[in-house]
Amino acid sequence: MALLRDAVPRDARCGDSSPLARVMREFEELVKSFETGLLRSLEDSGRDGVRVLQLESDRREHIRREACRLAISDISNKYTRKHIRRSLNAAESEGKRVEDHLQHLSLSGRADAGDNEHLGSLHNGYFRLYSTELFDLLGQPTELRFGTLRFHKHRASPDTAAERALSPQLPQSPWVTVELALNDSFYVADSMETLPYHTFRLPTAPSLQNRGILSRKPADNGAFPAFDSWLLFTFLGNGCIKLEVPIEMCADVYGGRLRGCENEEVLFWGFFVDDGVEQ
């Protein structure tokens, strides 16, 4: 019988160390903290002792419910951030793994021919973007929306006078357009708009070379923004791309603590989603 009595506290102690038990303890501590703060605020707003007693008796249950609501919100935000952090860390780790693999292949003088066909069909889908750096710069907001990136490849046909003037460059510079959606903002880029001074090409094989293109908002009627809007791409293969976005662009999209920052790039990792498998 003594052994049986001893087993109960031991099982209870194991339960106390479980993740659920830790969350419940954290929840109760938060409820007490919020409840104490709410009561103190009410007492400070009503110095009359009779009024305080009335509040204690009439509104204690209401204060308890409000403290529980605040505690649930606080815990939800905390664990949502942890979940977002795990997802972003996984994406960043995969991106760095692909980049390190390509670096190793480049140093050894070998090319990963298996990626050639995939890079040739970049325009048949889009890249879903992730950024641990942006998440941290903005203070880890739980409602943060990253974005998508899509490339379009066109057959260059010099029909207009401007295009005919550029015709010597057209065979060597296929026409590429880019669509970048970040949060609720939309940017586009057109490789024809910087010819003949700058050429942007989609690669046919993975490469550590970064490639830049100048972007703008469609709503600005063709005008480029006053701030830096050059997008830098590194096509790593295996469905992965590295994108560097000027912090001025990120400030224009997300605002907040990014306002006033300049001369830096924010790193994104993109992973390819084929249009044929999109649900």
Provide the residue-wise pLDDT of the chain in tens; the chain has 279 residues. 343 334 444 444 444 566 656 667 766 776 677 677 777 776 666 555 545 555 555 567 777 777 767 766 666 677 778 888 889 999 999 999 999 999 998 888 765 544 444 566 777 789 999 999 999 999 988 888 899 999 988 765 545 555 555 555 444 457 889 999 999 999 999 988 888 888 888 888 898 999 999 999 998 888 999 999 999 999 998 889 999 999 999 999 999 899 999 999 999 999 998 887 654
Segment (H or E) for 252: helix 247-254
Q: What is the spatial distance between Cα 142 and Cα 86, in angstroms, rounded to a whole number?
A: 13
Quick one: which of 277, 198, 184 has its CA closest to 231?
198
Same domain, 85 and 140: no
Name the 3-class secondary structure at 248. Answer: helix
Q: What is the spatial distance between Cα 155 and Cα 170, in angstroms, rounded to a whole number?
A: 9
Indicate the number of domains in the chain: 2
Domain end residue (candidates: 65, 95, 125) = 95
Flag whether 227 is in a domain.
Answer: yes
Same domain, 122 and 256: yes
Quick one: which of 139, 143, 121, 135 has its CA closest to 92?
135
Flag whether 105 is in a domain.
Answer: no
User: Which stretches of the chain are assigned E, i.e. beta strand?
Assistant: 125-130, 147-154, 175-182, 185-190, 210-216, 230-237, 240-246, 265-274
CB burial class (10 A; 0-12, 13-18, 19+) of residue 270?
Answer: buried
Quick one: which of 144, 120, 116, 104 has its CA closest to 256?
144
0.75 exceeded by the pTM?
no
Q: Are 235 and 210 in contact (CB under 8 A)?
A: no
Flag whether 244 is in a domain.
Answer: yes
Same domain, 196 and 268: yes
Same domain, 85 and 136: no
Q: Determine the pLDDT at residue 166.
A: 52
Same domain, 158 and 231: yes
Residue 184: give its domain's CATH number.
2.40.128
Domain end residue (candidates: 66, 95, 124) = 95
Q: What is the spatial distance between Cα 239 and Cα 115, in angstroms, rounded to a whole number?
A: 8
Q: Are 59 and 41 in contact (CB under 8 A)?
A: no
Q: What is the spatial distance between Cα 139 and Cα 134, in angstroms, rounded to a whole number?
A: 9
Q: Are 246 and 263 in contact (CB under 8 A)?
A: no
For residue 160 the two structure tokens come to 């207009």
**Phi-psi label, residue 91: left if phi above 0, alpha if psi -120 to 50, beta otherwise:** alpha
Same domain, 71 and 37: yes
Q: Determine the pLDDT at residue 134.
A: 94
**Domain encompassing residue 190:** 114-277
Same domain, 46 and 77: yes
Q: Are 30 and 75 in contact (CB under 8 A)?
A: yes
Same domain, 65 and 127: no
Helix axes 19-45, 49-108, angle to 10 degrees: 140
Q: What is the spatial distance between Cα 8 and Cα 24, in angstroms, rounded to a whole number?
A: 20
Same domain, 84 and 125: no
> For residue 187, what are the β-bridge partners?
180
Same domain, 175 and 77: no
Q: Are 180 and 188 in contact (CB under 8 A)?
A: yes
Flag whether 106 is in a domain.
Answer: no
Flag whether 193 is in a domain.
Answer: yes
Flag whether 103 is in a domain.
Answer: no
Q: Determine the pLDDT at residue 266.
A: 96
Same domain, 256 and 126: yes
Q: Determine the pLDDT at residue 227.
A: 93
Residues in the chain: 279
Flag whether 36 is in a domain.
Answer: yes
Flag whether 74 is in a domain.
Answer: yes
Domain end residue (candidates: 95, 125, 156) = 95
Q: Determine the pLDDT at residue 3.
A: 36
Same domain, 77 and 215: no
